[in-house]
Structure 1
Amino acid sequence: MREGCRAGGGGRMECSWKTVLLLVCASLGVQYTAIRTLRDSLSGPCQGAYRCQTRHHRDSRWRALCDWMPVDSPGKHILLFATTRSGSSFTGQLLNQHPEIFYVYEPLYHVQQAFTNSSSRLRRTLDRRALLGAYRDLLLNLYACDLHFIENYIRPEPQDHVTNSFFRRSSSHALCSPPVCLEGGEVTASDPPDESWCPKKCGALNLTLASMSCLSRGHVAIKTVRVPEVGDLRTLTEDPRLDLKIIHLVRDPRAILASRMMAFSDQFRAWKIWNATGRQPRYVDLSQITSTCKDMAASAETGLQRPAWLRGRYLLVRYEDLALNPRDKAGEIYRFAGLEMEDRVRTWIAKNTNSNASSPSEWNYRYSTTRDSRATAESWRLRLGYDIVRTVQNLCNDTLALLGYKQVHSAAQLRNLSHSLVEHRTFQPVT
């Protein structure tokens, strides 16, 4: 029987089930496109200066926010792209100190939590790329200073655009200072983030005021450890609305593992038993480090191939180089981003990277950014047993070679800190 529709008795149209299904799908597609178009046209001033210019005098709802929009020059959109325990909190603070950068710490956390319902079991079984579409949508809206968009994922749901549940709000100076927080003027820019001060002094976060702050600063920087590979960001690099700059932060996988074992004791209990006893438990999850090595290598290889979609948009930075020469590497990062490195960034570096800056309590804090950076660059060598190091080297051999990390072949070599395991390498921006 021929597929399609035909005239039936009484002037009725009779269609096959396949045709009906196709019509339903087409209808849904049209409705989805219409809804997205309507949302884009009404979602506020944060979709770009050109929209503010056309709406500014016609819609009083957004007039106050549009007044904050810098329409003369497009802002920079910076993404600190890293993996867990690679030094991204420290590196992010280099961007957070700039007075014209609106810095957001791990906003994709809210997407992950919303979809996994805070279930660690479900989080482990969920494919890492299942949330990429939602991640990219949120990043795009945050770069447009539409902080209301994140309300789709914050739990409990914000009321009247106000929330007490914004993840690590205190890591952003912009979210703890005027106009978001009238008490914020008491904290100097060089101070490290205080996880308790901001919520107590500032109260709940008003996302409308946060959007105003974002617009007034002109540039947006976001840190994330939840996107697996740089190739997953291609859609954003090719979006004409963005001037995206990707800072790909990498670190020696052996150091990453040592740091995770300290910070996440429950998740890495088997590794800690192995390190303490010298005997590998049968239930140790090797994928906790192999997936990290695979992602880092894949992203670095993509960058080294210098594809057209990454030209002018990608810089690989080794944490060890940043720790050993923080001022020089910070200057390189700022030049890549197309921004001047302000004096208060230099002040923060001087205050937070010398041996006298940190106290024992700060060293124990999971996300501390105050440390003797030179001493911490290879301090993992004093904490990991040689058996674990040898295993990681076998699992991540290609990644170590690609990024310029030397292997050790004895416990004595491992403990000999007078010989660095970081090769001299220069990673130029993709041009």
Structure 2
Amino acid sequence: MEARKYFVWLGWACLAATFIFAAVNIYVSHDFINSFHERNRYATHQDPNPHITDPHPTKEDELYQVDAKFIPDILKIVAERNAFMLENSEYYGPVKKQLPKQTKGVIIVTQYRSGSSFLGELFNQHNDAFYTFEPMTMFLTYRGDNTYAEDKVRLLRRILKCDFPDIDYLYKTVNFHSLSPSEQCLQDNFCFRERSRNLCSKELCPLGNRCKHCGPVHIPRVNHMCRSKKLSVTKVIRLYKIEWLRKILEDPKYDLKVIHLVRDPRGIQSSRLKLHPTMTLAANTAMTCDRHWINGIAPFANNSNWLVGKYLRVRYEDLAMDPFKFSNQIYRFVGLKFTTEVKNWIAKNTQANNQTKTQWTTNRNSSKTMQSWRKTLSFDTVSLIQNTCAKVMDLYGYKPASSEEELRNLEIPLIAKSLL
């Protein structure tokens, strides 16, 4: 009798343990993907032959590494996406001829609200560049330690070589903890598709119009188009240290250029406060200028030969004051022609009126926007930022305002001569 009670108790204990394990485990198996999608998805990850398929995917690739509460929504979105691909299988089939991986790229490293959208668009508007916008959007932005560093660099290496992973792959191989997956990223099989001119082209959106009703991105076709360009370009705000790119920069088989975009921290914080008025200014400013300092001294630190000839620092203010001059210098640095189409785009998007200006657009009067913070920030706020960022401002050529009068007088320049 005692023995039977023991086994009953043991059975219930095992059942309870199994339930607890299932409840806390964020890895959820993904069994519903049909064989059609498996053939095409795994074909994008084969090297060197992208058309060889793997009928036995690894266990890691079968599991989503996100908070379990998001799994039902993920499964629904992915199931609908896969059904669409199956209905349009003629388009979503394998690419007959896949070009070699890209060997030349540019990465724009900057911070949130630093005017990077305009600089990114300089490449997005160029026919010889394949531009992607914020490919690391699923990562936490403000981490100064090495958390996610390897994952970020691994992802960037693939993107720069035009070996794009699909979104399923990312959500199954990188631990995002409790971050909510992006519904739009999952639907499009690509994040910020609408911010890339190539991804909205007829070739990659044959079933829709101007990035509407396109259906999910077909990764093999994206790879093919990206590899056909002279270079791939991506813009990131979630790379804390340029130093993390060292292995890619030292790769003799890949020609990578780094454009480090900086902005006056007073302008950055003014822009952020408009969008996030309750943010903790002191802590956020300290973190912002810490990143500025780390990446600002990297080209001049000991043993930094890995950046020689591959690093260009650009101030947002210089671009704003003379967009034609500095755009031409940027293009020369990366080896692209300053085309008539790009010149026309710059003229249209740097002399806009107030009716077309928004917080997120590139269409604005850039020279006026550059100094707008001098009219909106209080002198106390400006003083806090200046005191926190004194050495960074000196490094980049930004002058402190010593009084309220000096701050408001736009005839008194608070920026030193151009860095370029």
Instruction: Tell me the TM-score normalised to structure 2 length.
Output: 0.72
Q: Go from structure 1 to structure 2 and tell me whether the alpha carbon gap of 1:325 and 1:75 turns closer, same or farther (over 3 Å shift).
A: farther
CA deviations over 1:129-153 (Å, ceiling 9, x no partner): 3011110010111112122255323
Aligned length: 334
Q: Is there any run of 5+ residues in structure 1 with no aligned partner, and where?
A: 1-41, 113-122, 187-196, 269-283
Q: Which residue of 1 aligns with 2:129?
A: 101
Q: Conserved in 1, the CA contact under 8 Å of 2:103 and 2:161?
A: no
Partner-residue secondary structure (3-state), 1:153: helix
Aligned to 1:273: none
Does structure 2 retain, via aligned residues, the 8 Å contact 1:106–1:224? Answer: yes
Distance 1:76 1:286 in 2: 40
Distance 2:100 2:413 in 1: 46
1:290 aligns with 2:286: yes
What is residue 259 of structure 2 aligned with on the other side?
247
In angstroms, what is the RMSD of aligned CA positions?
A: 3.1
Report 1:200-349 matches (<5 A). 200-266=212-278, 268=279, 284-305=280-301, 307-349=304-346
Aligned in 2, Cα 1:165/1:415: closer, same or farther, shift over 3 Å?
farther
Which residue of 134, 137, 144 corresponds with 2:154?
A: 137
CA displacement at 1:209 relative to structure 2: 2.6
Secondary structure of the 1:175 match is helix
* 2:202 pairs with 1:178: yes
| In structure 1, distance between residues paired with 2:401 and 2:149 | 37
1:426 equivalent in alignment to 2:415: no
The Cα shift of 1:165 comes to: 5.9
Q: Does the 8 Å CA contact 2:106/2:232 hold for their aligned counterparts?
A: yes
Structure 1: distance between partners of 2:409 and 2:374: 8
2:397 is aligned with 1:367: no
246-255 or 299-308, larger mean C-alpha shift: 299-308
> TM-score, length-normalised on structure 1?
0.70
Letter in 1 for 2:357: W
Runs of 4+ in 1 over 6 A off after TM superposition: 45-48
- How far 1:47 sits from its partner (Å)? 8.6
Which secondary structure does the structure 2 equivalent of 1:228 belong to?
coil
Change (3 A) 1:46 1:95: farther
Q: 1:69 to 1:407 in 2, by over 3 A?
A: same
**Does the CA contact (< 8 Å) of 2:110 and 2:116 recur in 1?**
yes
Residues 349, 145 of structure 1: alpha-carbon distance in 2 compared, 3 angstrom cutoff: same
Distance 1:325 1:101 in 2: 23
Equivalent position SS for 1:296 = helix
Distance in 2 between residues matched to 1:70 and 1:235, nearest whole Å: 21
2:138 counterpart SS class: helix
Q: Is the CA contact (8 Å cut-off) linking 1:45 and 1:66 kept in structure 2?
A: no
CA distance in 2, matches of 1:89, 1:296: 18
Distance of 2:304 and 2:343 partners within structure 1: 33
Distance 2:272 2:197 in 1: 26
Cα distance, 1:380–1:172 mapped onto 2, change above 3 Å: same
Any unmatched runs of 5+ in structure 2?
1-40, 55-92, 172-179
Q: CA deviation at 1:43?
A: 7.2
Deviations 1:119-172 (A, max 9, x none): xxxx87x665301111001011111212225532357699xx973363321110
3-state SS, counterpart of residue 357 of structure 2: helix
Instruction: Write out aligned runs for 1:181-200 (5 A).
Output: 181-182=205-206, 198=211, 200=212
1:274-321 Cα shifts (integer Å, max 9, x gaps)? xxxxxxxxxx45120111111112211112348210011100000000
Residue 253 of structure 1 deviates from its aligned partner by 0.3
Letter in 2 for 1:134: D
Matched, 1:389 2:406: no
Q: What displacement does 1:110 show?
A: 2.5
Residues 21-80 of structure 1 deviation map (CA, whole Å, 9 limit, x = unaligned): xxxxxxxxxxxxxxxxxxxxx9767899xx4xxx59x9699x964735268xx6421000
Residues 282 and 384 in structure 2, CA contact (< 8 A), matched pair in contact too = no
